Chains A and B, each alone.
Chain A
């Protein structure tokens, strides 16, 4: 690249980048600072003279304590984790098999089935939640984790399948043919040769599927009703707002703690996450 003077580098690159990072991360800073700020400081009007919004000298754990003592927050965390893990595993199982079939097997309508998968990938949850709520009730799954474990795969499987198709297509045909010549069956070649090679793809889809199910809201909001069954996003929304009163301290504490598992998983697998995300876009 042709490098200009130092000030140009700052004006055109560094300062805009710093601004971007600041704006993108500020809400999280605000979440953290609110979590540890005592109520007395939180509820000072914005134009009060002694208002010091960006720092607190009296950090407190009262909001986190409230969260665990007065609400079923720990239970919500467990529910969300269980639902996210179970639906991710189901979706990976289905998605890997379907992706393999669509990418590497010759059978009638393989192409059009691939298109069908892509189109279901684009079906938003908000299109079907009302009839789906009735179906869940008819199957007597309402207010159980299974209502979500079985419905989350509807948006996770198409995604996993689509991503895995990309990974499977990139594996050379010869690899499988060698195994077949050595006497492996079609099935064994898939299980022992191709799937191990596609592990990075499986990891990517799994991580993205996990974050997507942790993030899901409308199905959880509609299908679950008792406080003990709720997931973190729904529990925080429905139990920490009473009428018009927002419990901002515990709310932000809940938002912060509820984000941490996703953030941890993400931080361990950033590269897989990014490659999955960009892989899904390249298609």
Chain B
């Protein structure tokens, strides 16, 4: 009797409300909109991008299959090599400074004082305000002729001649790095502050009673407990910085003389600016292996830290 009833239920189409009772059908229905959008605008363009990078397509010229020729070409391109070096330098230097300054700021905020909520709210502003808009403020501050930074340094007696912040290749890179650190420190500080607040103050007090000096308390108590949060914050920051576009686009546009390009800005210059679509796509895709390695290494490391 029971067997026939089940067989009968399978034969008839299940009415929709009943189908949604089944967790697998419900999950499928709930995930469908996400799957469609991500498939259409991430998976499909990724696939198209790989195909595009293997052709010789330009704006108005359909092009043909050329294999890995674009990748060989960019590999022998000295601007591309500078770009790779710049990207690693930019990511490395800014991450170290953002972590150090962010941690310092987080520790300054991790105590009770008047107006703490207000300070915390204001500190996040560089992270909230659209990057392009705040970067314009920096570009104006770095202006060769009207720089307020030069004015201040001059009035304080540090310089007698103007500093051409964005005109010199090394200084331009430094300026960009400064702006990136400025923008990233709040994110590090607020996230690490949240991490710090989960650490019981009793641990530090116990260590203090046992005679640990402040530095040792930080290094042996606070830092290991903060490590999981730190790693995730670093993962986000490193990827965002590695793939950065807007900051460099506004500050220097990759100049002077292509000295400050990152992957994204160089890909934009070739792909959209010059119309060499497939070469631009190849440069963008050249980011992928690096990003992939960064993500895998950091995820493995996070897992190790968390299971320890």
A contact set with B: CB distance below 8 Å: 1-2, 13, 16-17, 20-21, 23-25, 27-28, 30-31, 34, 42-47, 51, 53, 90, 93-95, 97-98, 100-102, 105-108, 110, 113, 117, 119-120, 122-135, 150-151, 153-154, 157-158, 161, 185-187, 211, 214-215, 217-218, 221-222, 232-233, 236-237, 246, 248, 251-252, 254-255, 258-259, 262-263, 266-267, 270, 273-274, 277-278, 281-283
Contact = CB atoms under 8 A, between A and B. Distances in A.
Contacts, number: 282
Contacts of B143: 248
Contact of B128 (A134, A232, A263): A263
B243 A273 contact: no
A126 B27 contact: no
B246 interface: yes
B33 A93 contact: yes
A100 B239 CA distance: 27
Given A28-B125, A217-B131, A217-B132, A97 B49 contact: no
12 contacts: A24-B125, A27-B141, A28-B125, A30-B137, A128-B49, A135-B41, A157-B38, A215-B130, A236-B133, A274-B124, A281-B232, A282-B232
Nearest to A13: B108
Interface stretch (B7-15, B68-76, B78-86, B179-187): B179-187
Given A2-B208, A94-B34, A262-B128, A46 B147 contact: yes
B56 interface: no
Question: Which of B45, B191, B194, B245 counts the most chain A CB atoms within 10 A?
Answer: B45
B223 interface: no
A263 B235 CA distance: 26
B97 interface: no
Contacts of A13: 108, 111, 113
B41 A154 contact: yes
Contacts of B105: 17, 20
Question: Which bracket fits the contact residues of B?
Answer: 35 or more
Contacts of B280: 130
A102 B20 CA distance: 15
B46 interface: yes
Nearest to A14: B113
Contact of B37 (A124, A150, A211, A215): A150
A45 B136 contact: no
Nearest to B57: A134
Contacts of A105: 23, 26-27, 30
A258 B162 CA distance: 31
A252 B37 CA distance: 36
A129 B38 contact: no
Given A30-B140, A107-B23, A133-B272, 8 more contacts: A27-B126, A30-B137, A125-B243, A125-B245, A130-B272, A153-B41, A270-B121, A282-B232
Contacts of B41: 132, 135, 150-151, 153-154
Nearest to B36: A94
A24 B182 contact: yes
